[in-house]
Amino acid sequence: MSLLNLPLSSDLDRIGEQMHALARAQRDLQGLLAAVLGISSELELPSVLRRIVRTAMDLVGARYGALGVLDDKGEFLAEFIPLGLTSRELAALSGVELPRGRGLLGHLISHPAPLRVRNIAEHTESAGFPPGHPPMRTLLGVAVSVRGRIYGNLYLSDRRDGKPFDEHDEGVILALAGTAGVAIENARLYQQVRATSEQFQRLLLPQLLDLTPFEACAVYRPATAPGHLGGDWYDAVKLSDGSCVAVIGDVIGHDMQAAAAMSQTRSMLRALSFDRRTAPGSALRRLDRIMEVTGGPLMTTACVARIEPAGPDGWTLRWSNAGHTPPLLLPPDGPARILEAEPGLPLGVDAAMSRPDHSCDLPAGSTVVLYTDGLVERHDKPLEWGLETLLATVHGHAGAPVEELCRALADRHPGDGHDDMAVLVLRVPGRGASETVAGTAV
């Protein structure tokens, strides 16, 4: 090959630049694909928004990043999510109001085209920074749209290599913004579905009736999965002889059919338990036979408990279980304990089987806790661990009002959140107590 045919140095430089640009494009494309997968895996909206900002910063090597969410009119920023600030920088901004969308941020709101600024301070629309704000020189801003409407703006400032943002950075962030819009829409739909499912489930649950002189509180929490309708329910009624019947149950399944079956089962069991002469085990047996004849509802676990007066100040608890988690007893003096007894089979398995009743004495002021398995079950722990953790939580709130105890159980439960849960707390009157409060739900 003749030396005359060799590329000139300028050609070699140009080829090198092209190869470098190609390598950068391939690297950024791989990063963008990974970012798309990462953002799409999030479902909680706050996590999605933060993930978008962090991903954008990583893609272009920006030190600072933020996402500003527009208000309903699209005129100002209703929310501002900054990342990249150190703890010292955050402390310096303590008490400073978050940006509303003025200056360059307002320019991007009014003109939602990509914006690249080499020197923020020299831009004609720059409004400056508040006291304590870290110095920032360069800016890259792009709009994020959801279903054709501007949802907010993505802001990046100061590349770590000190160079201004270039056209390539702009293209990468524009591509990310398109993906961000889809991820935000998915997260918003997730929130809507979950809220609708929870509202439907709560409409099926009863409001606790006046149970005076018993104190009562109930709580229901849905599962974390979207559209995960549950079959958990609770109920409690006071009978004419002064006793109280409480029920907790869980229809197997997490769909509309399970929710409907839950409502049907709860109604039948309330009717069967309203007769003061019907023992808990008898009510479960009769319900099982009705289910066998009618062909439904679905397989169900349940616990029926009846609290009866026994002497001047004492009470007796009678209960029967159909494959359900055992009741928990918290005496006024002494440690909480699980009322272990034969759990039996769930309803809908064998209508001919017996449903034995169990009983124990309840000192005045005792608290009985009924709950579904979502409160204590984890996929990575044995059930015994969940029950022990539950006992510790109950013991830590001994003597607290039933509402406080109920909230503590719901907020600090050992379950993993994959299943919905219901809790019903009942407290019998203390010695010589007058009539107290009616039942509440939290």
DSSP 288-300: HHHHHHHT-S--E
The confidence score (pLDDT) of residue 214 equals: 94
Instruction: Report the predicted TM-score, pTM, of the whole model to 2 decimal places.
Output: 0.59
Q: Please say whether the beta carbons of 425 and 394 come within 8 A.
A: no
Strands 440-441 and 215-221: parallel
Q: What is the DSSP code string of 243-288?
A: -EEEEEEEES-SSHHHHHHHHHHHHHHHHHH-STT--HHHHHHHHH
CB 313 within 8 A of CB 431: yes
- Residues of the chain above pLDDT 90, percent: 29
CB neighbour list of residue 8: distance below 8 Å, 6 or more residues apart:
none
Beta partners for residue 310, in sequence order: 314
Say which residue, 441 or 307, is predicted with more confidence.
307
What radius of gyration do the chain's Cα atoms show? 31
**Residue 429 CB partners (closer than 8 Å, separation 6+):** 213, 214, 313, 364, 365, 435, 436
What pLDDT, on the 0 to 100 scale, is given for residue 257? 63
pLDDT tier for residue 310 given thresholds of 50, 70 and 90: confident
**Contact (Cβ atoms closer than 8 angstroms) between residue 31 and residue 39:** no
Would you call 65 helix, strand, or coil by DSSP? strand
Q: Which are the contacts of 200, defined by CB distance < 8 A and separation ≥ 6?
A: 229, 259
pLDDT category at 331 given cuts 50, 70, 90 is very high
In this structure, the dihedral spanned by the alpha carbons of residues 377, 43, 204 and 284, taken in order and rounded to 10 degrees, is -20
| Beta carbons of 299 and 332 less than 8 angstroms apart | no
CA distance 131 to 90: 12
- pLDDT above 50: residue 212: yes
b/e for 275-305, b at 16 or more Cβ within 10 A? eeebbbbbbbbbbbebbeeeeebbbbbbbbb
Average pLDDT over residues 47-72: 90
Cβ burial of 173 (10 Å; 0-12, 13-18, 19+) is buried
Which of the pair, 282 or 227, is modelled with greater confidence?
Answer: 282
> Which has the closest alpha carbon to 269: 229, 233, 231, 308?
233
The answer to whether residue 138 scores a pLDDT higher than 60 is yes
Q: Which helix (H) or strand (E) holds 75?
A: none
Distance between CA atoms of 277 and 292, rounded to whole angstroms?
23
DSSP annotation of 430? -
pLDDT over 50 at 437, yes or no: no
Residue 147 — pLDDT band, cuts 50, 70, 90? Answer: confident
pLDDT in tens, 267-301: 777 777 766 678 899 889 988 888 777 665 568 89
Give tens-digit pLDDT for 184-203. 887 777 777 666 666 665 66
DSSP 364-424: TT-EEEEE-GGGT-BTTB-HHHHHHHHHHHHHHTTTS-HHHHHHHHHHS--S-SSS-EEEE
State the pLDDT at residue 176.
Answer: 85
For the chain, give the mean pLDDT.
81
Spell out the alpha helix ranges (H) of 86-237. 87-92, 103-110, 167-204
Band the pLDDT of 435: cuts 50, 70, 90. very low
Closest residue by Cα to residue 216 from 237, 202, 231? 237
* The dihedral formed by the CA atoms of 194, 407, 360 and 288, expressed in degrees to the nearest 10: -10
